[in-house]
Amino acid sequence: MKPYEDLTIFALIRLFQFIFIALFSLLVLMYYSSLVLVPIFLIIQALPLLTWVYNGGGVPILILIGVLVYTANFLYRQRGIFDLVSETGKELIQIGRKQYDLFQQIAERVKS
């Protein structure tokens, strides 16, 4: 191979490595942010319905806060649910690290 072809392959491997890191980081951020955003989204979606039923006022907000507290308490009492979520996130991070290391090995082979 000519020297510029090695450089091109090396640059492509680095580009794929960067794209993989960016997409995988986005995946992990989406996983952890969904734990916060899903309850907030449900509250935002239910608020207009409850406001229509109760004709405004603070009653719908109090109902939704009560439902949110009950749901949080229910999830807290479930054994191992937080460990399950945490372990799944850690596994995602480990998979990403392994793939990054594989790209790094390929880049080192092409470079030498």
pLDDT in tens, 9-28: 778 888 888 888 888 888 88
Q: At residue 3, does pLDDT exceed 60?
A: no
Number of separate domains in the chain: 1
Question: Model-level pTM greater than 0.75?
Answer: no
Which CA distances in Å does 22 have to 59, 90, 96, 98?
44, 17, 10, 15
Q: At residue 57, does pLDDT exceed 70?
A: no
Which range marks the domain in which residue 33 is found? 3-111
Structure-token pair, residue 91: 């596994």
What is the model's pLDDT at position 24?
83
Mean pLDDT to the nearest integer, 76-87: 80
What is the model's pLDDT at position 15?
86
User: Among 32, 34, 19, 26, which Cα is nearest to 99's?
Assistant: 19
The answer for residues whose C-beta is within 8 angstroms of residue 88's C-beta and 6 or more apart is: 31
Q: Higher confidence at residue 57 or residue 82?
A: 82
Q: How confident is the model at residue 60 (pLDDT cuts 50, 70, 90)?
A: confident
